[in-house]
């Protein structure tokens, strides 16, 4: 039996027959470490005295990723969990798997969770994406290995050998400038300048000067002569991003320059010959706009001799793993971190999202995870706020993402409740599960319905509780 005693601070405490190596108390919405094994503290490069009394989430979570998630799971379900696995690093920075058993003990003043630990071979990390930087597939800096991207790479190789203008289309954030750079690097102009212009970022009054240059004194503020982007890109490639935002008067001037291959600086009557390969990009449907007159039809046909349409990220989900690792390596270098990967279930959730902002949005999410988490592996808990924001917005979730996150990955257990979560009728302990199983005559779908949970949630809890159909049927 468990014995309640007093510690030095005269607080109720438990001596457990199972001899736990760590004890955590839950009070006023937070977890506090009450006991921690000296051997594990030394293994992690700490000492037990500095850990005791500290917050579980802020002090232990960074060195034992997932232990807060485990504590919440045990507290909310009221059940024991065996062989929970977490990655930890020893004082020599060797990565090993820490196996954890956890048990809930409740008494009037507070809830206690006891933990026992063992270190074993890393079976858990065999399921994590283990990719070295040099193994990330890319083509001239464009990360990807999916079938849609292989088709894009083949087009870039073919078009790179020509000097014809190329129009790159695609949603915002799909990597149009990266594709333009890859075209430049695949061409005979690769050793010459690559000059980019964002057509939407320059005012109409200054655009002509930026594109074609100006002479000294040609307008107020023109203190010296200025070479425009066409001259700077001479013998190389000029990339016009957001081409659809170019005003109609400037479209006419641009068409003339493309046809004549020469420009006139603002305030000059002298023509300057230029040798430029033009690449344009847009997220608008210029062909439709050319029919309505909002974009010049003659310019559209001139710049769209060759077209590359970049697929949105939702159509190339096989590349998300590689993009995630690419950003992890990049951000590790930027912030001096040693993040390893995303857990498989977290990666699965990212693959279910529709990514309206495409690659740019994924990159921003990874930067956010680095800012908000100090762990070396990002799991579902790391995605909690991001997911809740997606639910709140009610947009850009495909037909399975909500069900997958709510049922398979148990936001209820992880403290990730949302308005879409089904209220649970019964605590998920062995007794209630067995009762529901018998009431359902052994039908797992009906068992889950009786318990008020999804069937996937039932199977996950059966695994956590070491329950099988055989044990349920007794």
Domain borders along the chain are: 3-127, 147-313, 314-472
CATH architecture of the region 314-472: Orthogonal Bundle (1.10)
Between β-strands 110-120 and 22-27, what pairing exists: parallel, antiparallel or unpaired? Answer: antiparallel
pLDDT of residue 331: 94
Could you tell me which CATH number the domain at 147-313 has?
Answer: 3.40.50.300
DSSP states of 4-66 as a string?
EEE-TT--EEEE-TT--SEEEEEETTEEEEEE--HHHHHHTT--HHHHTTSBIIIIITTTSTT
At 150 the pLDDT is 96
From the options 3.30.450.20, 3.40.50.12780, 3.40.50.300, 1.10.150.20, give the CATH code of 3-127.
3.30.450.20
370-376 — which CB contacts under 8 Å span 24+ positions?
370/331, 370/335, 370/337, 370/339, 374/61, 374/62, 375/61, 375/62, 375/65, 375/66, 375/339, 376/65, 376/87, 376/89, 376/338, 376/339, 376/340
Confidence at residue 222, expressed as pLDDT on a 0 to 100 scale? 59
Return the pLDDT at 15. Answer: 40
**What whole-number distance in Å separates Cα of residue 459 and Cα of residue 286?**
51
Q: Please, is 124 exposed, middle or buried when counting C-beta atoms within 10 Å of its C-beta (0-12, 13-18, 19+)?
A: buried
- Ramachandran bin of 73, using left for φ above 0, alpha for ψ from -120 to 50, beta for the remaining angles: alpha
Q: Using an 8 Å Cβ cutoff, are 208 and 229 in contact?
A: no
Please enumerate in sequence order all residues whose Cβ is within 8 A of that of 5, keeping only pairs 6 or more positions apart, or say none. 12, 13, 14, 15
Is residue 199 classed as helix, strand or coil in its secondary structure?
A: coil
Residue 170's CB is within 10 A of a number of other CB atoms, namely: 19
Closest CA to 243 of 193, 185, 294: 294
Long-range pairs of 83-90 with CB within 8 A, sequence gap ≥ 24: 85/123, 85/124, 86/124, 87/122, 87/124, 87/125, 87/340, 87/376, 87/377, 88/43, 88/44, 88/63, 88/64, 89/44, 89/63, 89/376, 90/43, 90/44, 90/45
Q: DSSP letter at 397? A: B
- Count CB-CB contacts under 10 A for residue 29: 5
Handedness of CA 182, 187, 192, 196 (dihedral sign): negative
Check: CB of residue 53 under 8 Å from CB of residue 35: no
pLDDT score at 218: 62
Give the predicted TM-score (pTM) of the model: 0.61
Interhelix angle 444-451/430-439, rounded to 10 degrees, is 120
Spatial CA neighbour of 444 closest among 420, 410, 469, 419: 469
Q: In which element (H, E) is residue 106 found?
A: strand 95-107
Q: Coil, helix or strand for 376?
A: coil
* DSSP 8-state code for residue 126: G
Q: Which helix (H) or strand (E) holds 432?
A: helix 430-439
What is the per-residue pLDDT for 341? 85
Q: Provide the residue-wise pLDDT of the chain in tens; the chain has 474 residues.
A: 333 333 444 444 444 434 468 999 888 778 899 999 888 888 888 888 888 988 888 788 878 888 888 888 888 887 788 888 777 777 766 667 788 989 888 765 668 899 988 886 444 444 455 677 888 999 999 999 999 999 999 999 999 999 999 999 999 999 999 999 999 999 999 999 999 999 888 877 778 888 888 777 566 555 666 788 999 999 999 999 999 988 888 898 889 889 988 888 877 778 889 999 999 999 999 999 999 999 999 999 999 989 999 999 999 999 999 999 999 999 999 999 888 888 887 888 898 899 999 999 999 999 999 988 877 788 877 888 888 888 776 655 554 454 444 433 333 333 333 333 333 445 667 888 888 888 888 887 778 778 877 665 676 677 667 788 778 876
According to the model, what pLDDT value does residue 12 have? Answer: 42
Tokens 């982007």 label which residue? 229
């Amino acid at each position: 039996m468990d014995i309640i005693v007093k510690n030095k601070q005269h607080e109720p405490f438990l001596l457990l027959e199972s001899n736990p190596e760590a004890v955590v108390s839950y009070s006023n919405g937070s977890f506090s470490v009450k006991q921690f094994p000296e051997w594990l503290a030394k293994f992690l490069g700490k000492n037990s005295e500095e850990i005791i009394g500290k917050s579980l989430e802020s002090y232990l979570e960074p060195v034992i990723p997932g232990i807060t998630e485990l504590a919440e799971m045990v507290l909310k379900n009221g059940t024991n969990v065996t062989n929970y696995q977490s990655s930890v690093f020893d004082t020599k920075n060797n990565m090993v798997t820490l196996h954890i058993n956890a048990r809930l003990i409740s008494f009037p003043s507070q809830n206690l969770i006891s933990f026992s630990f063992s270190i074993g071979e890393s079976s858990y990390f065999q399921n994590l994406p283990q990719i070295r930087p040099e193994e990330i597939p890319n083509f001239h800096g464009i990360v990807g290995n999916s079938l849609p991207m292989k088709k894009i790479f083949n087009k870039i190789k073919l078009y790179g050998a020509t000097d014809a203008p190329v129009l790159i289309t695609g949603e915002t954030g799909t990597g149009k400038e990266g594709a333009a750079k890859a075209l430049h690097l695949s061409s005979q102009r690769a050793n010459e300048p690559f000059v980019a212009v964002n057509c939407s970022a320059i005012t109409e009054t200054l655009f002509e000067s930026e594109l074609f240059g100006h002479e000294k004194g040609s307008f107020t503020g023109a203190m010296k002569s200025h070479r425009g982007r066409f001259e700077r890109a001479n013998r190389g490639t000029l990339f016009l991003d957001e081409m659809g935002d170019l005003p109609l008067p400037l479209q006419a001037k641009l068409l003339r320059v493309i046809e004549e291959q020469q420009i006139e600086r603002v305030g000059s009557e002298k023509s300057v010959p230029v040798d430029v390969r033009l690449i344009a990009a847009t997220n608008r449907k210029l062909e439709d706009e050319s029919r309505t007159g909002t974009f010049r039809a003659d310019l559209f046909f001139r710049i769209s001799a060759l077209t590359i349409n970049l697929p949105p990220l939702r159509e190339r989900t096989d590349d998300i793993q590689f993009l995630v690792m690419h950003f992890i390596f990049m951000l590790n270098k930027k912030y001096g971190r040693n993040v390893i990967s995303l857990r498989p279930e977290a990666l699965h959730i990212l693959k279910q999202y529709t990514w309206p902002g495409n690659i740019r949005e994924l990159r921003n999410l990874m930067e956010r995870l680095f800012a908000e988490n100090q762990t070396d592996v990002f799991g579902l808990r790391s995605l909690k706020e991001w997911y809740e924001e997606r639910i709140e917005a009610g947009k850009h979730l495909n037909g399975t993402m909500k069900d997958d996150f709510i049922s398979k990955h148990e936001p209820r257990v992880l403290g990730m409740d949302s308005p879409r979560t089904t209220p649970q009728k019964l605590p998920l302990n062995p007794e209630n599960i067995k009762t529901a199983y018998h009431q359902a005559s052994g039908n797992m779908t009906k068992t889950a319905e009786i318990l008020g949970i999804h069937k996937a949630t039932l199977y996950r809890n059966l695994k956590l509780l070491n329950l099988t159909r055989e044990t349920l049927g007794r």
